[in-house]
Amino acid sequence: MYILGIESSCDETAASVVQDGHVVLSNVISSQIKLHAAYGGVIPELAAREHLKNVYPVVEAALREAGKSVEELDGMAVTSHPGLIPALLVGNAYAKGLSAAAGLPIVGVNHFQGHLYAAFLEHPEALDAPENYPILGVVVSGGHTALVLLQEDGRAQIVGTTLDDAAGEALDKAAKILNLGYPGGPIIDRLAKLGDERKYDFPRGLVGAAGKPVPAEHKYDVSFSGVKTALLYQVRERTLSDSELNDIVASYQAAVMGVLVTKAIMAAHDCGAKLVCLCGGVACNSYLRAQMQAACERRGMKLLLTPPKYCTDNAAMIAGLGYHYHKFNFHSGVDMPVSARLPQDLGIFPLARKAKI
């Protein structure tokens, strides 16, 4: 089954053709990073205008690269939530138009689930193995930071989340404070390699550090507002040398990632997860990947690291996940809405081994 996926929830216009949920025939991404860099963050209306310009050529390129015509497709999938409404509207209106014109069934998919699915795009066997369940998904991006426990029948539960900023936001805002550019994550990743993470002792929120007990209801939650404020105070009215800057960046990164690893491992252990998978844009981070790998090895846990090209926003994860709806003949109606928020009730994740929708 050939599925065309379209993604426009934030600042990437992306399209991809994926066969049977895991053979990626094309993965075209047009990034707007340069446009938004001047503002230090994504401006929704600008994003929408760019999507409008790019969506047609990006879809055409994805079909061309895959060597498929619209007539050869079996269905379409489009990110319908969560995301920036003006941005989502463009991708969804285009997708609905193409679906109607070509007579292709379409399904709206959840971007958060898409990030989780990205870990399995090249490893469908990991989803098929009963011994891997429950699976703990560590979804860390610019918009989300959540630990999600996935059962074999597709039930999914968020066991931990951020109380304030997403991990990527904590990095992007830090880079803004330090005048490093946008997006901050990749820049911090690079500079941190030149610094010493032990030079500065940045606070680690909600891990019981500094003798502050963690409330039971926040056992697996994270918070990055404290570390961000500490950074602001640390650099206020200071002129930093290159080596001071690198040390600060390395120490800040270690604090953010340290909390993520601690919470993920604790949740995986307590929930009896057999497989941990790391996904979302922040999962590109080399320090986080290495720390998560080391922590999982120490605990004898299996870890699946999403390939970096599928960590940041892309449409292969949307087309791949879309296949799991189409195979059940589950389609969205012409009146399918878009929505900004991740729903409280995550519903059934169709990617799980025994999921039925």
What is the binding site for ligand KG4 (CB under 6 A)? 10, 141-143, 168, 171-172, 183-186, 189, 280-282, 284-285, 312-313
Instruction: Give the count of beta carbons closer than 10 Å to the beta carbon of residue 52.
Output: 18
Window of 141-149, 185-193, 318-326, 349-357 that interacts with Zn ion by CB under 5 A: 141-149
Q: Shortest Cβ distance from residue 166 to ligand KG4 (Å)?
A: 7
Q: In whole angstroms, how close is the CB of 185 to Zn ion at the nearest point?
A: 12
Q: Which is nearer to ligand KG4, 134 or 143 (CB)?
A: 143
β-pair type (302-305, 275-279)? parallel
State CA 187 to chain mean position distance.
18
Measured from the CB atom, the residue of 165 and 313 that comes closer to Zn ion is 313
Q: Name every residue whose Cβ is closer than 8 Å to that of residue 300 and which is 6 or more positions away in sequence.
A: none
Q: Which is nearer to ligand KG4, 247 or 313 (CB)?
A: 313
Q: Is 145 in the site for Zn ion (CB under 5 A)?
A: no
Torsion of CA 261, 80, 174, 196, to 10 degrees: 30
Which tokens go with 56? Answer: 């047609």
3-state secondary structure (DSSP) of residue 333: coil
* Nearer to Zn ion among residue 170 and residue 265 (C-beta): 170
Interacting positions 303-322 with Zn ion (CB under 5 A): 313
- Site membership for Zn ion, residue 141 (CB under 5 A): yes
Q: Provide the minimum distance between the beta carbon of 192 and Zn ion in the complex, in angstroms, as a whole number.
A: 22
What does 284 bind: Zn ion, ligand KG4, none (CB cut-off 5 to 8 Å by kind)? Answer: ligand KG4
Residue placing its CB nearer to Zn ion in the complex, 141 or 291: 141
Sheet with 106-110, strands from edge to edge, namely 23-31, 12-19, 2-7, 75-81, 106-110
Q: Crossing angle for the helix pair 184-192 and 167-177, nearest 10 degrees?
A: 80
Interface residue list for Zn ion (CB under 5 A): 141, 313
